[in-house]
Structure 1
Amino acid sequence: MNILKDVSILISRILVGVVLVAHGWQKYNSWTIEGTAKSFEGMGVPSANIAAQVATYFELAGGVLLILGLLVRIIGPLLFIQMAFAFGFAHWGKGIFIADGGWELVGILGAAGLALAAHGAGTYSLDYLFMTPFRARKARKEQEAKSTETAYSNQPFAPNNSSFNSAGAPGGNTFSNSFGTSGGQQTNNNPFSSNAGSTTNYGQWNSPTPTSTTGTSSAPSNTGTSGNNGTSGATGGTSTGNAQPVKNSFESNTNGGNTNPADPEAPTTQWPGSK
């Protein structure tokens, strides 16, 4: 299809160019510039002498350029303009057919000029030959831009951070506190910050069984969840005696009870090592 298109444009250029050269040569050789100017003056063309020279030389030079395929996109519109003036001054109101002085010929030439301006000279032309370096540079720039775009699209925009869990929150730090082993997962890298997430204890911390001088006590079990400081709190345990206030953070908030309820001043049960 491209070959057919280029061949069609070539034939059109040659035919229109030959017609223009023939009419230009007629004005220059047969009618002469002076005779053409007098004819234009009789038609009411302003500046008839200048118009005769412009029309004659344009038809000669423009026809040759069309045949060679040079500056076709410029010659095409100029040809349409010249034919429009010819229609207005010489062929208006005389019908279509050229035998009656109509606009048949100027109409076809004007349409051909517009078509050539729109489609260009085609492959078989000097325009195509002279534009080859510019086309090569344009193609090279487009290839470079495409290569750059391809290389840029292959770059990772977001690194695969393994420190994000499946829920999309940063995490992944499993830690053990000083009182037992936590099986949970911390949701903040700083377990002691005020906005740290909660830590879930999946295991149970078995605390040492407190001793008593006369009674027995049951050991508290850690089944609760830790607070913001990441430590485990003791919520379990069964008391068989009087509850005593917790003296420090290392004491149980429940005791094993006093075996002598009649003596409130008797020493209370404490964790081993407490003071």
Structure 2
Amino acid sequence: MLPNDTLLTVWAPRMLAVLRIMTALLFIAHGSQKLLDFPPLGRPLPEAMTLSWFAGVLELVGGILVLLGLFTRPVAFILAGEMAFAYFMGHAPRNFFPVLNGGDAAILFCFIFLYLSVAGPGAWALDNARRSRSVAA
């Protein structure tokens, strides 16, 4: 059996990567639904350059970048801001309580992305490959 600190040292970056990957997959689904109507909602796609279109682009492209672990910190920071904006513009006016205004996902995404912007991507990220390549050069 590994000592407890070794176990944490080995698994903490891996679990951070799992959190990053699963969050990104869920986030990509929101963007693909807005921009590609997949999974289908049956409503019209947003017109280019509208608020909903920008949200979809951030969610789809930003989600893919976070999934790959590429430019994770700045992208996650931008996405945290998008989710804060989405909460205060779209959810908070409906009701004070997140469970009643449908904003719980926006709050969770906001704080997970804020955490990723500080903690970094964890294991299995292209950021790590870029960093090791720039150190070797």
Q: How does 1:152-163 map to 2 (within 5 A)?
A: none
Deviation at 1:52, TM superposition (A): 2.1
In the TM superposition, what are the counterparts of 1:118-129 in structure 2 within 5 Å? 118-129=118-129
Match of 1:21 in 2: 28
Structure-2 residue corresponding to 1:88? 88
The structure that has the greater radius of gyration is: 1
Of the three residues 41, 46, 51, the one matched with 1:33 is 46
How far is the alpha carbon of 1:14 from its aligned partner? 1.0
Residue 3 of structure 1, CA deviation: 2.0
Q: Which residue of 2 aligns with 1:68?
A: 68
The one-letter amino acid paired with 2:98 is I
User: Scaled by the length of structure 1, what TM-score is found?
Assistant: 0.42
Q: Which residue identity lines up with residue 6 of structure 1 in the other structure?
A: P
Shift of 1:136: 4.2
Superposed CA deviations along residues 24-63 of structure 1, whole A, max 9, x for unmatched, are 01111234123xx8xxxxxxxxxxx432221111111111
Q: CA RMSD in A?
A: 1.8
Give the 3-state SS of the residue equivalent to 1:123 in structure 2. Answer: coil
Tell me the CA shift for residue 135 of structure 1.
Answer: 3.3
Mapped to 2, the partners of 1:68 and 1:105 lie a distance apart of 22
| Cα pair 2:27 2:63 within 8 Å, conserved | yes
What is the total number of aligned residue pairs between the two structures?
A: 122
1:122-141 to structure 2, matched below 5 A, reads 122-136=122-136
Specify every segment of 5 or more residues in structure 1 that has no aligned partner in the other structure, as ranges.
38-48, 138-275
> Percent identity at matched positions?
27
* Residue equivalent to 2:5: none
The runs of 4+ residues in structure 1 deviating greater than 4 Å are none
Q: Larger relative CO (CA 8 A, sep 6+): 1 or 2?
A: 2
Q: Give, as a single letter, the amino acid of the residue that structure 2 aligns with 1:17.
A: A
1:11 pairs with 2:24: no
**For residue 96 of structure 1, what is the amino acid of its counterpart?**
P
2:105 aligned with 1:105: yes
User: What are the superposed Cα offsets for residues 79-113 of structure 1, whole Å, 9 maximum, x if unpaired?
Assistant: 1110111111111142211xx33321110000011
The amino acid that maps onto 2:31 is G
Q: CA deviation at 1:19?
A: 1.3
Instruction: Using structure 2 for the length normalisation, give the TM-score.
Output: 0.80
Counterpart-to-counterpart distance in 2, 1:90 and 1:52: 11
